[in-house]
Amino acid sequence: MEENVKDYLKFSESAAIRAAVLIQRWYRQHVARLEMRRRCTWNIFQSIEYAKEHDQIKLYNFFGHLMDHFTPASRERNLISHIFHENKVCRDIELERYFCYKSIEVTESYTGPHLSFPMTFCGVSKLVESFKHKQQLHARYVVQILGETWRLLRNLPNINHVYVCRAKEITICGDLHGQLEDLLLIFYKNGLPSPEKPYVFNGDFVDRGKNSLEVLLILFGFLLVYPSDVHLNRGNHEDHIVNMRYGFTKEVLGKYRVHGKKILGLLQKIFSWLPLATIINHKVLVIHGGISNVTDLNVIAAMDRHKYVTTLRPPKTTHQKDTGGKTKKGRSEKDVGLVDGPHHGFTTPGWERDHPRRQLSWSLEEELKKRRRMAWFDHSYGEMMRSDSDSDSESGTGTDADEWKQIVDLLWSDPMPQNGCTPNEIRGGGCYWGPDVTQAFLGKHNLQLLVRSHECKQDGYEFCHNRRVLTLFSASNYYEVGSNRGAYIRMGTDLVPHLIQYRASRTCRDLSLRQSVGWVERSALRALRERLFVHKSDLISAFQEFDPNSTGMISLKDWACATEKVLKLGLPWRTLRVQLISTTEHGLMNYQQWIKELSIREPTIMETIYRNHSNLETIFQIIDADHSGSISFEEFRQTWKLLSSHLQTDISDDAIKGLAQSIDFNKDGSIDINEFMEAFRLVDISAHA
């Protein structure tokens, strides 16, 4: 009997072990599948984001091309010229007048916080509490804070040097992107800035999030109270051109309809005065983007950073005149205004060197017809790093061009695992740099760690290059609720980064891993289907190349190849086919039916709106030079002409006129931004009905 019991126990123990192993194996496979889905989802979000950034830079380079090659009297040139004039340096007395707030009256009906200056800890705490309760600060106080911030920033160096001791650690935060909830959570977990708790905020305070201005005002408030303990680095989104596309311009104009234009003008100046880097205890460098093989901190420390109001284009230099109406470069005044070169530092066209004199009477269509053949965006990093003699003749002085390249690399670059330094063609600006470049740079400047931001990471941070480069991102749920954690670091005298991760959304914290992955995956696939939808015509053409007999059927391999050829997102399409293709027959898919399932129809002008609404809205904001929120029918026609030229497509004047009349809902003879966006919303609804 005892032997039977022992045998039974042994059998039971063995069965339990086998069951535990099976459960463990199943669980590991389950987690691995979830992780694969999570990574694939992440690739979708990131690829779409970088593609949009590249579109932004291509559009801006196109405007730069118009400015460089159109005649000064051109009407189309005048429409966009104001966005390039912000790089001019104003005299102090002019700026002091511009920052004046005294004419803005605080009415008795205002129920928000009342501030006194100079700012105190009590005042900025009151500001934080009011924003937490969704109150809006009066425009007078906004302008006062901006004016005081501008006066302070002008006295700061390009590179802040910070020192930590045993008594206090320093906190470093990455991108916030207007997500006030993340900033408030950091303060709740870590404490408010103070002399005992210094902070470094590493750029990209604005855009994408809906509370960018509130985030800025809180950071500026603490900077004014603790100028030695709060340090702000400039990011690539502290740029008025980038703000036009990614929401900050629209946010400010929506919240401050009367004084919004003034506030935006002030912010342009402030952004140009933000420091470019922070060095902690001579050993840790904190910059927003990255470095290249030509980055030199000595050059960065000595430059006049405020000249670079936008990093998307080098500042124009006024050449001194010589006798005979010639500049010292040997060109006439008229020629100097007409010809400019490539925008070094961004992946831009390989423009021809010698251009004939333009006739002043050339129209937009005639000029662009000739110029289209010269464009498209193919440049190597080596070509961008031309000799100073090239830069002298094409983008102002060689010194200005070199400085501008340094700033572009500092704000736009990303690390890569391979050695070397190559152009960042995915973003369209800056470079990719490898571990060998990191080692050489840190060795040259006697540094031990580079902390940067600029890239969203699933865990809020990521080490690379033998743990000598740390990417830090502080905007949680950046793409979608549950898509990523945010993170910040604390650093003491040992200069070892101690990471703190978080999620700002309570909804996300209540979800299981499987629910969270599913939620984010559905959002990513929805964004990807929209991307497929807007490229319908190109997709059909690409599929037909693999279907010479017009059967309507292609292999899954050919589908993946054609889709990547059109979208250029670098995604694992054959893995994604399970989520994107509902039915197959013997390894073939009916692409005509698949097209119908995506609601893809024949090309129309409305489809072009849907496909390019971000570009069109950016052009709208640029042409609306006075930020009134409306443009005339003629300006709307010019908007479409610029867009169609940028896209290398032809849209008739009759089609544009009909579209303008249909969008003008209140029939007042002009189109405001709300009418434009409402028209896009209606297109969006009809497309997915």
- Residues known to be catalytic: 237
The dihedrals phi and psi of 349, each to the nearest 5 degrees, come to -65, 155
Torsion 470-476-482-485 (CA) sign: positive
Q: Is the peptide bond before 118 cis (omega within 30 degrees of 0)?
A: yes
How many angstroms separate the first and last alpha carbons of the chain? 74
Torsion 645-646-651-657 (CA) sign: negative
Beta carbons of 482 and 510 less than 8 angstroms apart: no
Determine the Cα–Cα distance for residues 487 and 432; give it in Å rounded to an integer.
23
Between β-strands 159-162 and 277-280, what pairing exists: parallel, antiparallel or unpaired? parallel
Half-sphere exposure of 112 (CA within 13 A, CB side): 19
Which residue is associated with the tokens 């490229």? 535
Token reading at 265? 């003008």
Long-range contacts of the stretch 590-596 (C-beta < 8 A, 24+): 590/552, 590/553, 591/540, 591/543, 591/547, 591/552, 591/553, 591/554, 591/559, 592/552, 593/552, 595/536, 595/539, 595/540
Q: Which residue, among 306, 273, 286, has the nearest Cα to 161 in the 3D structure?
A: 286
Beta carbons of 55 and 614 less than 8 angstroms apart: yes
DSSP string over 558-603: HHHHHHHHHH-----HHHHHHHH----BTTEEEHHHHHHHTT--S-
Token reading at 638? 């010019």
Determine the Cα–Cα distance for residues 554 and 561; give it in Å rounded to an integer.
11
DSSP string over 45-101: HHHHHHHHHHHHHHHHHHHHHHHHHS-TT-HHHHHHHGGGGGGSPPPHHHHHHHT--
Token reading at 397? 């002085």
